[in-house]
Structure 1
Amino acid sequence: MKREHRIRSLLERIRSASLDAHELLGPLDLKEFRTNLLVQRGVGMSLLMASESVVQLEAFSPDFVAEHPEIDWVTIRGMRNRMAHGYFDINLDYVYQTAKYEALDLVRIVDSLIHIYPEGE
C-alpha cells in the first residue's frame, strides 16, 4: 500500500471510530452514561480504536504527525495507553467529555486533512 493510501486509511479509521464514540452517547447526559454499561463499553472501545489508529499513524509516518500539531497526538496516545492497560481505573467523566466534545473536534480536523490523500490502492 502506498504511503498516501495508508495515511488516508488510518485517518478514515480515526474519523469513523471518533464519530462512533460521539454518536453512541446519543442524548445521554453524564449521569445516564455512568449507569449504562453497554454505552460505556461501546464508547470506550470506539475511543480505543480511534486512539490505536493514531498510534499506528505515529509509527507509520512520524513526519505526518510532526506536520500536523493541530492534533494532540501525545494526549490521544496517553488516553489509549490508560484505556488499554487500566481497564478498571478508567475515568468515566473523562471518557464522556472526550466522546461528547473532543471526538467531534478530532473528526473536524481529520476532515480537513483527509482530502489531501487519494482514495484507493
Structure 2
Amino acid sequence: MSRDRQRLLDYLVHILEAIARIERYVDDLDEVGFLTDELTQDAVIRNLEIIGEASNNIDKYYPEFSAQHDHVPFASAYEMRNALAHGYFRVDLEVVWKTLEKDLPELGLSVDKLIRQLMDENSGL
C-alpha cells in the first residue's frame, strides 16, 4: 500500500476507533444518564472532535476519495467538530445525544466498509 493510501486508511481507522470509544462510553446510558454525566459528555465530545478532524483531513487531502464516497458525511462531521470545539458552554447536549443515536452507527458502518474496501484493494482481492 502506498504511503498516501496508508495515511487515508489511518484517518478512517481513527474515525472508527473514536466511534468505538464513544459506543463504550455510552453503552449503559440512556439520554437522561448522558445529560447528567459530565465526564462522559466530555469524553464523547473529545472523540467527536477526533472524528471531525480526521474527516476534515480526508476531505482536504483526499478530495477525490471524499467525492466518490459522498454518502459518508465527512464535511458534516467536521462542521460538528467546529461547533463542539468552539461552542464551549453553548454545546447542545441533546443534539449530541441524537447524533450518537442516529448518525454515529451509520457512520461507523460506512467507514468500516471503506476500510475493508481499501484493505481488499491492497491485498489484490
Give the alignment's TM-score, normalised by structure 1.
0.90
| Preserved CA contact (<8 Å) 1:48 1:83 | yes
Higher RCO, 1 or 2 (CA under 8 Å, sep at least 6)?
Answer: 1
What pairs with 1:51-66 in structure 2 (closer than 5 Å)?
51-66=52-67
Change over 3 Å in CA distance of 1:75–1:54 after alignment to 2: same
Question: Partner letter of residue 52 of structure 1?
Answer: E
CA distance in 2, matches of 1:3, 1:63: 13
Gaps of 5+ in 2: none
Runs of 4+ in 1 over 6 A off after TM superposition: none
Partner of 2:6: 5
How big is the alpha-carbon RMSD for the aligned residues of Structure 1 and Structure 2? 1.5
Gaps of 5+ in 1: none
Change over 3 Å in CA distance of 1:18–1:47 after alignment to 2: same
Cα drift, residue 102 of structure 1: 1.6
Identity %: 28
Report the structure, 1 or 2, having the larger helix content: 2
| Preserved CA contact (<8 Å) 1:20 1:46 | yes
Count of residue correspondences: 119
Give the alignment's TM-score, normalised by structure 2.
0.87
Cα drift, residue 101 of structure 1: 3.1
Question: Partner letter of residue 98 of structure 2?
Answer: Q
